[in-house]
Structure 1
Amino acid sequence: MDNTVWMVNSTGGSDFILMGLFSQSKHPVLLCVVIFVVFLMALFGNAVLILLVHSDTHLHTPMYFFISQLSLMDMVYISITVPRMLMDQVMGVNKISAPECGMQMFFYVTLVGSEFFLLAAMAYDRYMAICHPLRYPVLMNQRMCLFLASGCWFLGSVDGFMLTPITMTFPFCRSQEIHHFFCEVPAVMILSCSDTSLYETLMYMCCVLMLLIPVTVISSSYSFIFLTIRKMISAEGQKKAFTTCSSHMTVVILFYGAAIYTYMLPSSYHTPEKDMMVSVFYTILTPVLNPLIYSLRNKDVMEALKKMLNVRLVF
């Protein structure tokens, strides 16, 4: 009888307890300050990049449009995890209700899935720009860019609508403690007392598909790009092409590497500590690194930034 009541209460809407990063830290206050500073850097860096892309006419190209979409995704998904974690630490509260947990999980899965496909769209854009430069303005027009970006957001939301309801309808009766700093699917699913092996298999197949399609597009695009670069006579043209592609490839390796570990490796490779550290990397650190990667190594962005700062100084 007690077990039945406990299962119903856990499934029906009792609070989860987010163990978070700070419970394992010897200096939680210092860690809280560091994460807050990193969060502000991520918001500022991505917001500036979006502002530059939309305000400078020289950056009104498909490549920078997709970069601004990437920055928007980074801003949103760091905002659905970090502020809640910091507020819980300051207020001394670490509980999250089942509906709030589900909403956080949905938005997070949606944004991560959207970024998978956006990175593929960015690779396709580079392929068209380098391999078909004469047809590029026609093929990658504004309508096509909006279609690709909308498709990325839609496919990400499909992933969210698939994984979140199934995960949150399992009965949770083992423990209410989520050994994570937000409601990520694997961290919540491990609390279920029912057999989740079939769902884990389906989730694995879903993640393989979500990764396989973008990876295929990215690898195919860069295969053709490298073949085209090898045929270029101009050393300056080769250098420019490599610089543009290397920034994107750096982001791809960082993001996909962490995602493959989290969603595709067997559970025997996972521990709560490892999972949390990997999530910190691609949830908190990657949004800070992305604008740096795309700005410090990009002359057009740096010129636009200098121009904007000069205008501000004049006024």
Structure 2
Amino acid sequence: MQNQSFVTEFIFLGLSQNPHMEKLLFLIFLLVYPATVVGNMMIVVTIIYSPALQGSPMYFFLAFLSFLDICVSSVVTPKMIADLVHERKTISFECCMAQVFASHFFAAVEVIILAAMAYDRYVAICKPLHYCSIMNRRLCGILIEVAWAGGLLHSTIQIVFTLQLPFCGPNVIDHFICDLFPLLKLACTDTHIFVILVFANSGSICIIIFLLLLISYGVILFSLRGHSSEGRRKALSTCGSHVAVVVFFFVPCILIYARPTSPFPFEKNVFVFTDVLTPLFNPMVYTFRNKEMIDAIKKMWRRLVVVSDKQ
């Protein structure tokens, strides 16, 4: 089926039609976005320049996860902030498609990285004697390549679906970003088959990987019975941080994509949480619950202070 779209731009209704509320949201997200970028960048820089963390696969994946959080937030938040101060919120057809592709690309890469981090914790706790031989640089590199390839495949499938939709009339999106279900509502064709494809490509992936991650952490918790109390405490600390991030990411994903086409009343709020707030929470979760990260950040800041004093 060829795309017969006559729409050159879409109009967002945004998060609110109340001007006073929009000004408040503008100020909030104007603080949230820089904090997200700085917080995640601090994790990336700390891991790159900390010898104690560089060789650890866990921190290697954490640095990559923080980089992805910056990308996910940057796809959505700057445009949303700009729209909050404009009465007419528009996006071109091409930019809308680019936003769909980019948001699904980085989200899919993050899904695979979260799965890789769960496997890393499983090997570290359940097979500690073989950890270094299993989680070597080669395997970590392969997992990163798989994540990029998986994200590209997923987002390509999504954008191919979307480009098949004919948009020949309505162009007002009751949302603040371009995404699949809001666009399906505007298509001038029967979209039932597209809804099934969206569920198969996004909803089922969210559900299956989330269940697999829960099972993997169930196995990890079961294996901790034979560890010392100190070993259990340390393992639960690192695993607890990862589980919190997994829940923050996958529960909204399931709410958005693993559902029927009937309107979800809090859909925009869920998107705000998953695309804007979760990337801000992740660095907090991983730093405040991780003594090694806190110590590494302190050492890096001391080093920066010494260098600045010498200059």
Q: Provide the identity percentage.
A: 34
- Structure 2 distance, partners of 1:238, 1:77, is 33
Counterpart of 1:113 in 2: which secondary structure? helix
1:265 aligns with 2:259: yes
* Among candidates 258, 283, 299, match of residue 307 of structure 1: 299
Shift of the alpha carbon at 1:166? 1.5
What one-letter code is carried by the residue in structure 2 that aligns with 1:290? N
1:81 aligned residue: 76
Contact 2:32-2:280 within 8 A present in 1 as well: yes
Q: Of the candidates 235, 247, 250, which is equivalent to residue 244 of structure 2? A: 250
Unaligned runs of 5+ in 2: none
* Aligned partners of 1:119 and 1:214 also within 8 Å: no
Q: Which amino acid aligns with 1:19?
A: L
**Structure 1 residue aligned with 2:202:** 207
In the alignment, does 2:173 pair up with 1:172? no
For each residue in 1:191-218, what CA deviation from the matched residue of structure 2 results, as whole angstroms up to 9, or x when unmatched? 1120010111122122244225523541
Distance 1:122 1:43 in 2: 22
Deviations 1:142-163 (A, max 9, x none): 1111111221121111111001
SS of alignment partner, residue 17 of structure 1? strand
TM-score, normalised relative to structure 1:
0.92
What is the distance in 2 between the residues matched to 1:215 and 1:88?
Answer: 33
Q: Which residue of 2 aligns with 1:275?
A: 267
Name which of 278, 281, 297 aligns with 1:286: 278
Residue 70 of structure 1 aligns to a residue whose secondary structure is helix
- Over the aligned positions, Cα root-mean-square deviation in angstroms equals 1.9
Choose 25-34 or 36-45, whichever is displaced more: 25-34
What is the Cα deviation at residue 235 of structure 1?
0.6
Q: Is the Cα contact below 8 Å between 1:70 and 1:118 reproduced in 2? A: yes
Aligned to 1:155: 150
Q: Residue by residue, what CA displacement relative to the aligned partner does 1:161-196 show, whole Å, maximum 9, x if unpaired? A: 001122133112452111111111111111112001
- Post-superposition offset of 1:248: 0.4
Partner of 1:227: 222
More deviation in 114-123 or 275-284?
114-123
Shift of 1:269: 5.7
1: distance between equivalents of 2:185 and 2:174? 10
Change over 3 Å in CA distance of 1:216–1:249 after alignment to 2: same
Q: Which position in structure 2 is the counterpart of 1:133?
A: 128
Alpha-carbon shift at residue 242 of structure 1 (Å): 0.7
Unaligned runs of 5+ in 1: 1-7
| 8 Å contact from structure 1 (residues 45, 291) kept in 2 | yes
Within 1, Cα distance between the matches of 2:181 and 2:81?
22
Decide which of 38, 51, 54 is 1:57's aligned counterpart.
Answer: 51
1:121 offset after TM fit, Å? 0.8
- Deviation of 1:38 (Å): 0.4
Deviations 1:109-138 (A, max 9, x none): 111111112111110010001111111111
Counterpart for residue 5 of structure 1:
none
Superposed structure 1 runs of 4+ greater than 6 Å apart: none
**Gap change, CA 1:9 and 1:218, over 3 Å in 2:** closer
Q: Which amino acid aligns with 1:109?
A: H
* Higher mean C-alpha deviation, range 275-284 or range 174-183: 174-183
**Worse-matched range after superposition: 167-176 or 150-159:** 167-176
Superimposed CA distance per residue, residues 276-302 of structure 1 (whole angstroms, 9 cap, x where no aligned partner):
000000111000000000000100000
